[in-house]
Amino acid sequence: MLRFVLTHRRAVMLMVLVALMWSTAGVVTRHLESARTFEVTFWRSFFTVLSLLVILPLFKGRTVFGQMLKGGTALWLSSLCWSVMFTAFMVALTLTTVANVLVTMALGPLLTALSARAFTSYRIPARTWLAIALAGVGIVWMYGGQANLSAQLTGTLVALLVPIAAASNWTVVQHSQAHGQKIDLIPAVLVGAMISSLVTLPLALPLTATPNDIGLLAFLGLTQLAIPCVLSVWCASKLKAPEISLLALLEIIFGILLVWVGAGEAPGNSVLYGGALVIGALVMNEILGWKGKS
């Protein structure tokens, strides 16, 4: 098992690296030659499984696979949420712009607050209601000035499954912890990738990916999903929730810049302004919440 002392400063630096690694999906996807929609998801999830089968024993010890069998219903529900996130994200990237997908995914913290309100005793503060309203305005602004609106909305609706699944995952974890059951999210990532690859394989046939495509998707499976997901769960042990949320927003900035520079996919003004309003609402909500607890 790997030994490394994780301090708060190192956790912050790692989360910046994690956000950068997450952000590579868009630009890499734009350089695929023939793989499309479900095949893209299958190969990335497949290589994520292979990567985690090697990484997990190094990170958690050889007993990790035996512990997975004792995870119970909560582990499988969390894994199902991960599989939805993995699948919907890649499919959405093939249907709409990278900027649309990333900004839509940024709604995760706000949807998590709504989920907590619906399924727990959590009361949403006024600042979060304001952030939800502003983010809604930002989303409408984003799409108000885009051409081919119906196609863009289809991709966005698929992308919306990612923050919905993330909010559901949070609810499962919180409910389990409240009842004395602790879920190890890192093995849940592995099971989620397995589910994603198994479900999308029949939908991906016949496979048409070129060797170049397979190489790029193998790169994503290892460096855009397996490694950063493990690191993000690890960093969560040292960082507070607002810190994680704010640092994760860097994925949007990195992702839009990378696909702009690396694939020539420039975001329109409506996306930039509407996206800025969404991100600003999230930053405001997290900072005010952080100050209120300090």
pLDDT (tens digit, 9 = 90+) per residue, 70-112?
Answer: 667 788 888 999 999 999 999 998 888 888 888 888 777 777 7
**In this predicted structure, which of 148-152, 223-227, 262-266 has the lowest mean pLDDT?**
148-152
The two three-digit tokens of residue 197, written as one number: 């690859």
The secondary element (H helix, E strand) that includes residue 152 is helix 149-178
3-state secondary structure of 96: coil
pLDDT, residue 57, reads 83
Identify the CA nearest to 37 among candidates 79, 80, 96: 96
Residue 50 has pLDDT above 50, yes or no: yes
pLDDT band with cut points at 50, 70 and 90 for residue 148: low
Q: Chain-wide mean pLDDT for the chain?
A: 82
Q: What is the mean pLDDT of residues 177-189?
A: 72
DSSP letters spanning 100-145:
HHHHHHTTHHHHHHHHHHHHSS----HHHHHHHHHHHHHHHHHHHT
Would you say residue 33 has pLDDT above 80?
A: yes
pLDDT grade for 1, boundaries at 50, 70 and 90: very low
In this prediction, residue 4 carries a pLDDT of: 65
Q: What is the mean pLDDT of residues 216-230?
A: 93
Q: Which two tokens stand for residue 187?
A: 């093995």
Q: How far, CA to CA in Å, does 202 sit from each of 41, 42, 94, 206, 227?
A: 12, 9, 18, 8, 26
Please indicate, yes or no, whether the overall pTM of this predicted structure exceeds 0.75.
yes
pLDDT at 184 over 90: no
For residue 215, which amino acid is it?
G
Higher-pLDDT residue of 65, 56: 56
pLDDT digits (tens, 9 = 90+) for 231-260: 887 887 787 766 777 788 888 888 888 998
* CA 213 – CA 204 distance, rounded (Å): 14
